[in-house]
Amino acid sequence: MVQYAVYLENICFSYEKHVVIKNLSLRAKPGEHIGIVGDSGCGKSTLLKILAGLYTPDHGTAVIAGEHLPENIRKQVALVMQNNSLFPLSIRDNITCGHDISDETVWAACQNASLANWIEKLPNGLDTKVGERGNQVSGGQAQRIQIARALCKDAPVILLDEPVSALDQDTGQSVLAALCKLTEGRTVIHVTHHQETLDDSYTIYRMEGGTMAHGCT
């Protein structure tokens, strides 16, 4: 039997009585890249939160990197969201999330996320505070900090929720280039409004009515 990195079988999920995910199945083999498109409000972010082990389905089976329990699933995935998910702490703390990670590893992640040149020029370097809601850094830098965090976590499954949709086109392109370093060789579920930003490695699915429409768009 093929070992899937992502295995969802007939899952359902509701907020209170509002059913958002209905009998949804999705499978990804290790290293597979899947793009998910769909109208606003159709449940894409909810699906990613289930895949991240932040929500538990009401029904159905969810196995991520061989793990069934949400607390174990959370160790196997790294999530990059649209924006506003930096902590009001230093750049280093935002990247390590308090884990004991060597400076060498943090700098390697910064290099791969194209952050190193900027951080080297800051008077306080990695100890620079990024402020409430990350508002002392640009949108592109905030996304790169999230990418560096995901690179340090070194999780096998990467979940991307419209990671460039809040950025202008040039910044978005350079963040996408940094994302390639993160997604290479890993299983990726990438939710996007901009299907054209996904390269040929992606299989595209469309979400409709809380489930996965058949076939590619």
Ligand X SMILES: Nc1ncnc2c1ncn2[C@@H]1O[C@H](COP(=O)(O)OP(=O)(O)O)[C@@H](O)[C@H]1O
Contact positions toward ligand X, by CB under 6 A?
Answer: 15, 18, 20, 38, 40-46
Residue type, 104: E
Q: What is the DSSP letter of 28?
A: E
Q: Which helix (H) or strand (E) holds 202?
A: strand 202-208
- SS3 for 56-114 is CCCEEEEEECCECCHHHHHHHEEEECCCCCCCCCEHHHHHHCCCCCCHHHHHHHHHHCC
Partner touching 15 among Mg ion, ligand X, none, CB below 5 to 8 Å by kind:
ligand X
Q: How far is CA 68 from CA 52, 59, 65, 74, 118, in A?
A: 11, 13, 9, 10, 40
CB 148: neighbour CB atoms within 10 A? 30
Told to check if 136 binds Mg ion by CB under 5 A, we report no
Query: Which partner in ligand X, Mg ion, none is near 98 (CB below 5 to 8 A by kind)?
Result: none
Count of residues engaged in binding Mg ion, rule: CB under 5 A: 1
Q: Which is nearer to ligand X, 18 or 99 (CB)?
A: 18
CA trace torsion 204, 210, 211, 217 (10° rounding): -30
Nearer to Mg ion, 119 or 159 (CB): 159
What is the closest distance, in whole angstroms, from the C-beta atom of residue 45 to Mg ion in the complex? 3
String of contacts with Mg ion for each residue 6-45, x by CB under 5 A = ---------------------------------------x
Cβ distance to Mg ion smaller for residue 45 or 111: 45
Interface characters, 40-69, with Mg ion (x: CB under 5 A): -----x------------------------
What's the closest the beta carbon of residue 126 comes to ligand X, in angstroms?
Answer: 33
Residues in the chain: 217
